[in-house]
Amino acid sequence: MTPAATPSLTPRFPTELRRWRRVRGLSQLDLAIRAGTTQRHVSFIEQGRSRPGRGVVLRLAASLELPLRERNDLLVAAGFAPAFPESPLDDDALAPVRHALDTILDGHLPYPAVVVGPAGTLVTANRAFDLFLEGVDPALLAPPVDLFRLALDPRGYARRVRNLPVWGRHVTASLRGRIARRPDPSLEALLVELEGYLPPLPAHDDDVLGFAVPLELDSRDGELRLITTLTSFATATDVTLAELHLEAFLPADDRTAEVLRRRWG
């Protein structure tokens, strides 16, 4: 009697699992330990010889630290429905989120703050964010606004950044981090473009506060010095919400604080 054939997956799931494992720099054993299974099981899954259940796929995706969108993609590749909803930001379900964001943005005045979406797109900002729009080419402000390009393209506010060689590399490091978490050819091309705008680093860099690199920005009120903070929704279970983060700017000296209070206080 011929033994029954082992159910096999389509090539997409094994290929995606193997790709993400390699992107994360993990061996099959590393991934197996993280996911609470065996190296042999991971090997069989990657060869298409074993069909994992939905729970196993979710554990593998969590162990790979995939963003929610990619966890959904991995589930679909394995033949399951997505686990995480993706609601439009104007959906009634996200009304509390919109209210919270508006409250945070208004509460941060007179200092600039902006909500950033996938791939660095502008979602919304408070009034003080106008500080960064002085002299910007209107072409860069056509929706969707790319905040990476707004910062480093010579048509943006890069021309006003006094410490562009140093500060600009913190912007590109942030973009590189996004690409590492979620590879995207369009973002990789953008990174190459933006790095081409940056002048060489100075031989000696004293342009720090001791704890952070400030943004030194020329304005109609003279030079301002700002530091940045990033906040995300760490417990989000909705794809849209998980892909948002809040970038808030704070004065790095008393003069900057006074200028911003005078303009937007």
CATH number at residue 34: 1.10.260.40
CA distance 167 to 216: 8
CA distance 79 to 76: 5
Parent domain of 122 = 92-264
70 lies in the same domain as 109 = no
CATH number, domain of 167, equals: 3.30.450.180
In a domain, residue 82? The reply is no
In a domain, residue 86? The reply is no
127 lies in the same domain as 166 = yes
Give the residue from 121, 198, 190 showing the smallest Cα distance to 154: 198
Q: Domain count of the chain?
A: 2
**Residue 238: CB partners within 8 Å, gap ≥ 6?**
68, 84, 85, 86, 87, 93, 94
53 lies in the same domain as 125 = no
Q: What is the pLDDT of residues 119-139, one digit of tens each?
A: 899 999 999 999 999 999 999
38 lies in the same domain as 120 = no
CA distance 158 to 197: 9
Is 155 a residue whose pLDDT tops 50?
yes
Q: What is the pLDDT of residues 181-209, one digit of tens each?
A: 888 899 999 999 999 999 998 876 555 54
In a domain, residue 83? The reply is no
In a domain, residue 223? The reply is yes
Mean of per-residue pLDDT scores for the chain? 91
71 lies in the same domain as 185 = no
62 lies in the same domain as 157 = no
151 lies in the same domain as 219 = yes
pLDDT given for residue 92 in this prediction = 94
In a domain, residue 3? The reply is no
